[in-house]
Chain A
Amino acid sequence: MEFDTIAAISTPMGEGAIAIVRLSGEKAIPIADRIFKGVGGKQLKEVPSHTIHYGHIIDPANGQTIEEVMVSVMKAPKTFTREDVVEINCHGGLMSVNRVLQLVLTNGARLAEPGEFTKRAFLNGRIDLSQAEAVIDLIRAKTDRAMHVALSQMEGRLSKMIRHLRQTILETLAHVEVNIDYPEYDDVEEMTHQLLREKATYVREQIERLLQTAQQGKILREGLATAIIGRPNVGKSSLLNNLVHENKAIVTDIPGTTRDVIEEYVNVRGVPLKLIDTAGIRETEDIVERIGVERSKQMVKAADLILLVLNYNEPLTEEDEQLFAAVEGKEVIVIVNKTDLPQKIEMERVRELAAGRPVITTSLLEEKGIDELEEAIARLFFTGGVEAGDLTYVSNSRHIALLHQAKQAIEEAITGIEAGVPIDIVQIDLTRSWELLGEIIGDTVHESLIDQLFSQFCLGK
């Protein structure tokens, strides 16, 4: 509820021509200045309000250029939120926009809650009374969803690790506190700088590890696992090539653990897809079909999304029916390919088997129907149809930002320890890091320190 500086991607998710990262709050301009390098070294804090500036986003940590951008600066109060607002217009896809957002977050902004820009506009008197109810609904609805996401993440590995880290910090804090509140109790070992440094260093290492694994979030790192399945010669290979050639491949050549599984990454309208077993598809289509339904079933298991390809030019076979059975309960898009040839397939039966899931007709040869297919993929992803593992894109950005802040706090604690600052003062940074980690799992109750104090130590003077 503090009016700190918030940031979010404010254009719709997906592959637009331009994506905008918007910042709002007292520090919007200084934060942007930290990562923006304008032509001729122009500082955003010096430019007039409501102007736009060309330049680059640079990671101040390593000087790396992230993105070519146009940055608009709008100073309070004549802005949407009545606060200072900066909008960074990015040209790349989801990946680069996301990197810009990450940079903004690690440089002092907080990820905006859903509807928060609107809420601020309201609280700062920008929006009138009639819209207030809508704002309330927004807060409640979005928060409930956020809660739901938070709950499902509770079981995740991340929250387990964070709990462990917090407990480590908490025990250390309780130890420090006991030394302060019960100075004469000799049966509690005095917390020393060295001991504290060991604990703090351990916590920092663990946070770094977490940051590495969570760096881009599961989806952005691994993509939405996508399997293309179908009988031989239905056009799996053409589909694959179309997807890969039509869209920029983000990463290629990441060998899997098994000898013959190769994954390819493509970005379909902002949705990163990890195509499973592309080598298998290419090999088998080109040479001899060695892979049966069994192999398809294995691929299905590993996939978040399945593209099931059928042949428009052939009647449905027993094998096709078996494939439908194999994808039961999965997110599926059915592709009926080869509309350039005469229809021999029974579309009514296909729709029946698809059971409400999207059915797209294509002619990959003539490059027809590909737009519709991409549309269907994007829709599925952004309307929440696909459950993308345990870390979603948005909440993950929040986690990453919090982890960075927690790491910074613990680093400040270590600096303090090394400078010989008294432990009860170093403890301020330690507590901060504990609280930040708590925000990730939605638990910042201060009382738990006092509980820890009394359960860990025998006290009484």
Chain B
Amino acid sequence: MEYHGGTYDVIVVGAGHAGCEAGLAAARIGAKTLMITLNLDMVAFMPCNPSIGGPAKGIVVREIDALGGEMAKNIDKTYIQMRMLNTGKGPAVRALRAQADKFLYQHEMKKTLENEENLTLLQGKVERLIVEDGVCKGVITHTGAHYYAKAVVITTGTFLRGEIIIGDIKYSSGPNNQQPSIKLSEHLEELGFELVRFKTGTPPRVNSRSIDYSKTEIQPGDEVPRAFSYETTEYITDQLPCWLTYTTEATHRMIDENLHLSPMYSGMIKGTGPRYCPSIEDKIVRFHDKPRHQIFLEPEGRNTEEVYVQGLSTSLPEHIQRQILATIPGLERAQLMRAGYAIEYDAVVPTQLWPTLETKIVKHLYTAGQINGTSGYEEAAGQGLIAGINAARKALGKEELILSRSDAYIGVLIDDLVTKGTNEPYRLLTSRAEYRLLLRHDNADLRLTDIGYKIGLISDARYEKFLAKKAAIEKEKKRLQTFIIKPTPQVQEVIRKAGGSELKDGIRAADLLRRPEMTYEHIQLLAPAEEDIPADVIEQVEIQIKYEGYIEKSLQQVERLKKMENKKIPEDIDYDAITGLATEARQKLKQVRPLSIAQASRISGVNPADISILLVYLEQGRIARVSNE
């Protein structure tokens, strides 16, 4: 029965990690927003690893928070363990990771959605979009309801024509045996979208009571209280540990002998899987001489005995999975609760998107998350936030937001996707960020709070606190740059104890801090501040002074990037009219349609000569316009 269901500013299809951020951001900006999901009990569900954060990804979570998103706050309320990784390395690569209580995480997020002004949460299956003259005007559900909106965001994850594969069994399904979304996938193809088939996988889960933990190593959380959100002030102190064990020779033999039963090698799986998260059979085949692989046992929550067997992602038949588990110390008697599986799904080729995440084919339509070929909750949430912001701003007639590669990991992620596309499910890595010294865990607020505030996702109170922090950082830096430390016996003693060489002369506190062996704590002894300085201010002062030279180098690179980004390419440029472009470059440029010379230069197959020609052509156009006026 066809009927009119309602009119909104923004509709978000899906309520996973991308959908939640998109819906909340749109509603909070002031857009009347509808979120439609297949199953309301699965809001913000974690079908794979019950954890959030880690290298690069953890920084994304901080960025989401600085922009006014929800993921950081939600995990801060629901973690069972929190650890800072890479503490022995430089500040650029430190990253926070939390193990989540995956059920609590869902409940908290659902509650937040339910309580949001401007936001309507609805269970339903979207099968078609309402598209008129190339503009998306709304969606139609399987019950025949027509919902209208000025902008639509699709965040359907791995549901598009999803298929689960275990051994020789294959069936149509979303993750964790949910309903797949088949008609929407077909509809996108009808609209002219190019889709690609990707594959990912998940390991088996076992009952905690059947694990012999005495054969494993404990991995506790940090004792120092930590949080993702800059606004979190209360910390969960009662943490649960994870456990570490290893595969054995017997495990490898078992997999070797049953490789022919793996759908990966029988040819049943056609989708491209991620290299950064290989299945255990993949690890054994590709790194045959490795005697053992790590297996992490991660609790899925406080009110469950289910344990996630990290490192054992597999699509081997269920009975083989049982036998494999039995070869692993601690898991000999493990009770299998859910078998691991591989899932294949459709993704939209992301070069069909603008850097705003609006599709080039249908206007006012946005896609975000795994549907764009990424993997990971954090990558999804980051895109969801940007798509939600932009859909709302489009609906409200405001200019859209594009983060640069030098602003945020989210900027790197989206730019990579829309400029280069991806051949496998895309995961953020710190090595993808060329300015990673600038894109740190600690300074996400300094990088992005201003933007979040301008957009309307940061409250006045929070913004004022932020400005005060900034001022305090500058004040303390200035103090250290002018304070002279004299070579008194007490000073020399402190320096000697720290393992440094004694002063010959007076030295500015900032210069002394630059010495590798010196920390702010030492400086505090030698050049005490008059007032109490908060820890987050000290952190910034120390990093900014200590690594000033390297930061300066990165900033110079960014300066060059900005120059190129300021050279805009008009959307209506006709690449066929430009003489001299190489054929491959022309094709790629027509496909990607970069918005700036900087973006154009990152497209593979576009050479410096083509960029030169493009620059000349643009300049020609400018001159022509000036002389016409």
What residues make up the interface of A, taking CB atoms closer than 8 Å to B? 1-4, 119, 122-123, 125, 128-129, 132-133, 135-137, 139-140, 143, 173, 177, 179-187, 419-425, 428, 445-447, 449-450, 453-454, 458-461
Whether A450 lies near B431 (C-beta < 8 A) is yes
**Closest Cβ–Cβ distance, residue B566 to chain A (whole Å):** 12
Whether B89 lies near A2 (C-beta < 8 A) is no
Whether B547 lies near A425 (C-beta < 8 A) is yes
Query: Which of A4, A133, A460 has the most chain B CB within a 10 Å cutoff?
Result: A460
Whether A140 lies near B613 (C-beta < 8 A) is yes
Select which of A4, A123, A140 is within 8 A of B615 by beta carbon.
Answer: A123
Residues of A within 8 A of B311 (CB): 460-461
Bound-state Cα–Cα, A461 to B615, Å: 43
| Interface flag for B437 (CB, 8 Å) | yes
Bound-state Cα–Cα, A429 to B85, Å: 23
**Closest Cβ–Cβ distance, residue A23 to chain B (whole Å):** 19
A1-B608, A459-B278, A461-B310 are contacts. A177–B580 as well, Cβ < 8 Å?
Answer: no
| Interface flag for B624 (CB, 8 Å) | yes
Select which of A3, A420, A446, A454 is within 8 A of B563 by beta carbon.
Answer: A3
Whether A137 lies near B278 (C-beta < 8 A) is no
**Closest Cβ–Cβ distance, residue B88 to chain A (whole Å):** 9
Can you list, as one digit per residue, whether each of B410-440 has a CB less than 8 Å from chain A (1) or not (0)? 0000000000100000000111101011000
Additional A-B contacts beyond A458-B286, A458-B287 (8; CB < 8 A): A1-B564, A1-B611, A177-B430, A183-B55, A447-B604, A460-B313, A461-B54, A461-B296
| Interface flag for B143 (CB, 8 Å) | no
Select which of B90, B292, B432, B553 is within 8 A of A424 by beta carbon.
Answer: B90
CB<8 Å pairs between A and B, sample of 19:
A1-B564, A123-B616, A129-B620, A132-B620, A136-B616, A137-B580, A173-B431, A187-B292, A421-B516, A424-B90, A424-B430, A428-B437, A428-B550, A446-B434, A458-B283, A460-B277, A460-B278, A461-B294, A461-B311
Give the dominant DSSP class at A's interface. helix
Bound-state Cα–Cα, A135 to B619, Å: 12
| Interface flag for B276 (CB, 8 Å) | yes
Select which of A4, A424, A450 is within 8 A of B429 by beta carbon.
Answer: A450
| Interface flag for B536 (CB, 8 Å) | no
Residues of A within 8 A of B608 (CB): 1, 143
Bound-state Cα–Cα, A421 to B278, Å: 33
**Closest Cβ–Cβ distance, residue A260 to chain B (whole Å):** 50
Bound-state Cα–Cα, A425 to B547, Å: 9
| B 512-570 contacts with A by CB, 8 A | 516-517, 547, 550, 553-554, 560, 563-564
Residues of A within 8 A of B436 (CB): 424
A424-B92, A461-B54, A461-B311 are contacts. A139–B278 as well, Cβ < 8 Å?
Answer: no
Whether A187 lies near B290 (C-beta < 8 A) is yes
| B 599-614 contacts with A by CB, 8 A | 601, 604, 607-609, 611-613
Whether B92 lies near A119 (C-beta < 8 A) is no
Can you list, as one digit per residue, whether each of B262-305 has a CB less than 8 Å from chain A (1) or not (0)? 00000000000001111000010011001011101000000000
Bound-state Cα–Cα, A459 to B287, Å: 10
Residues of A within 8 A of B119 (CB): none
**Closest Cβ–Cβ distance, residue A352 to chain B (whole Å):** 44
A458 (CB) vs chain B CBs: closest residue: B287
Bound-state Cα–Cα, A422 to B437, Å: 11
Bound-state Cα–Cα, A425 to B554, Å: 11
A186-B294, A428-B550 are contacts. A181–B611 as well, Cβ < 8 Å?
Answer: no
| Interface flag for B56 (CB, 8 Å) | yes
Bound-state Cα–Cα, A446 to B68, Å: 32
Query: Which of A129, A425, A453 has the most chain B CB within a 10 Å cutoff?
Result: A425
B91 (CB) vs chain A CBs: closest residue: A422
Whether A139 lies near B580 (C-beta < 8 A) is yes
| Interface flag for B115 (CB, 8 Å) | no
Query: Which of B54, B313, B429, B611 has the most chain A CB within a 10 Å cutoff?
Result: B429
Whether B294 lies near A423 (C-beta < 8 A) is no
| Interface flag for B623 (CB, 8 Å) | yes
Bound-state Cα–Cα, A26 to B477, Å: 30
Bound-state Cα–Cα, A160 to B290, Å: 31
Residues of B within 8 A of A445 (CB): 604
Whether A180 lies near B580 (C-beta < 8 A) is no
Select which of A1, A136, A460 is within 8 A of B276 by beta carbon.
Answer: A460
Whether B615 lies near A179 (C-beta < 8 A) is no
B559 (CB) vs chain A CBs: closest residue: A2
Whether B55 lies near A180 (C-beta < 8 A) is yes
A174 (CB) vs chain B CBs: closest residue: B431
Whether A453 lies near B616 (C-beta < 8 A) is no
Residues of B within 8 A of A177 (CB): 429-431
Select which of B283, B607, B619 is within 8 A of A132 by beta carbon.
Answer: B619
Residues of A within 8 A of B623 (CB): 125, 128-129
Select which of A1, A3, A129, A420 is within 8 A of B612 by beta carbon.
Answer: A1
**Closest Cβ–Cβ distance, residue B432 to chain A (whole Å):** 7
Bound-state Cα–Cα, A132 to B616, Å: 7
**Closest Cβ–Cβ distance, residue A440 to chain B (whole Å):** 14
Bound-state Cα–Cα, A422 to B611, Å: 36
A139 (CB) vs chain B CBs: closest residue: B612
Residues of A within 8 A of B56 (CB): 181
Select which of A137, A421, A449, A460 is within 8 A of B283 by beta carbon.
Answer: A460
A454 (CB) vs chain B CBs: closest residue: B275
Bound-state Cα–Cα, A422 to B91, Å: 9
| Interface flag for B86 (CB, 8 Å) | yes
Residues of A within 8 A of B275 (CB): 454, 459
B429 (CB) vs chain A CBs: closest residue: A181
**Closest Cβ–Cβ distance, residue A185 to chain B (whole Å):** 7
Residues of A within 8 A of B85 (CB): 183-184
| Interface flag for B233 (CB, 8 Å) | no
**Closest Cβ–Cβ distance, residue B312 to chain A (whole Å):** 10
Bound-state Cα–Cα, A461 to B54, Å: 9
Whether A180 lies near B93 (C-beta < 8 A) is yes
Select which of A128, A132, A422, A461 is within 8 A of B90 by beta carbon.
Answer: A422
Residues of A within 8 A of B165 (CB): none
Select which of B55, B93, B278, B431 is within 8 A of A458 by beta carbon.
Answer: B278
Bound-state Cα–Cα, A119 to B620, Å: 12
| Interface flag for B597 (CB, 8 Å) | yes
Bound-state Cα–Cα, A186 to B437, Å: 25
Bound-state Cα–Cα, A128 to B626, Å: 12
B428 (CB) vs chain A CBs: closest residue: A181
| Interface flag for B579 (CB, 8 Å) | yes
Whether A185 lies near B294 (C-beta < 8 A) is yes
**Closest Cβ–Cβ distance, residue A188 to chain B (whole Å):** 11
Bound-state Cα–Cα, A347 to B85, Å: 85
Whether A139 lies near B276 (C-beta < 8 A) is no
Residues of A within 8 A of B550 (CB): 421, 425, 428
Bound-state Cα–Cα, A283 to B137, Å: 95
| B 428-481 contacts with A by CB, 8 A | 429-432, 434, 436-437
Bound-state Cα–Cα, A140 to B430, Å: 36
Whether A140 lies near B89 (C-beta < 8 A) is no
A136 (CB) vs chain B CBs: closest residue: B580
B51 (CB) vs chain A CBs: closest residue: A461
Residues of A within 8 A of B597 (CB): 1
A129 (CB) vs chain B CBs: closest residue: B623
Whether A122 lies near B283 (C-beta < 8 A) is no
A177-B429, A420-B516, A460-B277 are contacts. A122–B90 as well, Cβ < 8 Å?
Answer: no
Bound-state Cα–Cα, A358 to B93, Å: 66
Residues of B within 8 A of A421 (CB): 90, 516, 550
Whether A459 lies near B609 (C-beta < 8 A) is no
Residues of A within 8 A of B612 (CB): 1, 119, 139, 143
Residues of A within 8 A of B278 (CB): 458-460
Select which of A140, A187, A422 is within 8 A of B293 by beta carbon.
Answer: A187
Bound-state Cα–Cα, A182 to B54, Å: 9
A187-B294, A424-B89 are contacts. A453–B431 as well, Cβ < 8 Å?
Answer: yes
Bound-state Cα–Cα, A309 to B627, Å: 63
Residues of A within 8 A of B55 (CB): 180-183
Residues of A within 8 A of B609 (CB): 139-140, 143
Query: Which of A125, A182, A454, A458 has the most chain B CB within a 10 Å cutoff?
Result: A458
Select which of A129, A180, A446 is within 8 A of B89 by beta carbon.
Answer: A180
